[in-house]
Structure 1
């Protein structure tokens, strides 16, 4: 009787083992299932004949992507590619596909690493240069905020794109008024309050100084801000928004 039972026990053990291994594989750690990978990744990768390739990649939940690149020191043009991407079996690498090419990227915690043609990580002194960093949706500092509305009017026909950057390391604000570069200091206080001070700018004359004058007035008057879905508003008390900004990684 025992001899007849043993084979059945062995089969049962194998079945349970297979199910356990399968469940372990399904629940194993991988970027696809355990990381908040959807979002925007930014970095400057090496370039053979330019200062670097500024790269901005956005991965969406529906497995589509947008990739913007600019060859620094060579051209101010920004190239845009759209397509779909897929995950590898291990769930740690995505392949971005367009009509003309495909590229592999390793997905880490808040990082996207460009891989070589064999799907391997690039090594050597420049290895870190191939890593793009994920940007937080509600991040305020160290980002190029493009001015898109000023006192309710859409920014149009400006001599140069007005923007500001709030530095994280030194609490300094810098940017362009649409004509002149400017800089100063800022403070972020409790209750989404903000204070700009000691503002200075270059003295170049432009045909239309209206945007510059109003932009600088807003920075003098603003005392609070809101940041919702990647849109930054500067306000005065409970008045209507005085200036509205959106992130533009290629503004300069």
Structure 2
């Protein structure tokens, strides 16, 4: 009798084991385990009494986050929150927690979707406005590069923060010199070479034009670039770096 029972028990154990492994595999395949979710997400969400809420969220491997927001058309202030976040049981949603409140976001492929108070996706005509897009780690284009150093000197006493954006659509460069807005064309070549051309800027006068003049001169002669630890360097030949930039999503 025991000889007949043992094979049945063994088959039952195998079935349960296979089912358990299958369930584990399914449960393990989620945003938390299969996506490169750590990084920075950017977007502008709807606002009841302003033009929109510019939002930048950075999720870190150690389950901490930094969230920066700016109420466009209402204030130039940037509000910063730091805290920790946790995943839900399904592994597809994170809850950002601070001392005052928490907010849930659905984690998708290179996206972070702001959820409503009940933890559901917002629907309607404005649904897409609640989706923040992940920024590429090594991205060069379509980022607001803030000028932080010019010919070895930190940027100080500028009428306005100088920056540049290298656009992908038509290889146009645009930005601010610290006084005037500027635009032109750029070309990326092999060997991290770069060339700016057809540069133009507005003609407004400012008390301090030194930064503008030097910035424009750098763009005229720069012929190569490098991106090291999130810092963009513009160089000429093998000379010392002429200009250094850091990404600042609120600079413009």
Q: What's the TM-score, normalizing by structure 2?
A: 0.95
List per-residue Cα deviations over 1:180-229 (Å, max 9, x = no partner). Answer: 11111111111111111111111111111110010000000100000122
> Post-superposition shift, 1:6?
6.1
* Other-structure match for 1:126: 126
Instruction: Give the aligned length.
Output: 251
Task: Give distance in 1, aligned partners of 2:53 and 2:144.
Answer: 17
Whether 1:153 and 2:153 are equivalent positions in the alignment is: yes
Whether 1:223 and 2:226 are equivalent positions in the alignment is: no
SS in 1 for 2:65: strand
Task: Give distance in 1, aligned partners of 2:191 and 2:15.
Answer: 61
**Counterparts in 2 of 1:192 and 1:10: CA distance versus 1, 3 Å:** closer
> Post-superposition shift, 1:149?
0.2
List per-residue Cα deviations over 1:6-51 (Å, max 9, x = no partner). Answer: 653464245424542453245x310111111000000000011111
SS in 1 for 2:161: coil
Unaligned runs of 5+ in 1: none
Alignment of structure 1 residues 79-228 onto 2, 5 Å:
79-228=79-228
* Other-structure match for 1:71: 71
Task: Give distance in 1, aligned partners of 2:251 and 2:17.
Answer: 58
Task: Give distance in 1, aligned partners of 2:193 and 2:113.
Answer: 37
* Other-structure match for 1:16: 17
* Other-structure match for 1:39: 39
SS in 1 for 2:219: helix
Task: Give distance in 1, aligned partners of 2:45 and 2:20.
Answer: 44
Task: Give distance in 2, aligned partners of 1:115 and 1:4.
Answer: 53
**RMSD between aligned alpha carbons?**
1.5
Unaligned runs of 5+ in 2: none
Task: Give distance in 2, aligned partners of 1:186 and 1:35.
Answer: 34
Displaced runs of 4+ in structure 1, greater than 6 A? none
SS in 2 for 1:23: helix
Q: What's the TM-score, normalizing by structure 1?
A: 0.95
* Other-structure match for 1:48: 48
Task: Give distance in 1, aligned partners of 2:14 and 2:250.
Answer: 60
Task: Give distance in 1, aligned partners of 2:74 and 2:12.
Answer: 67
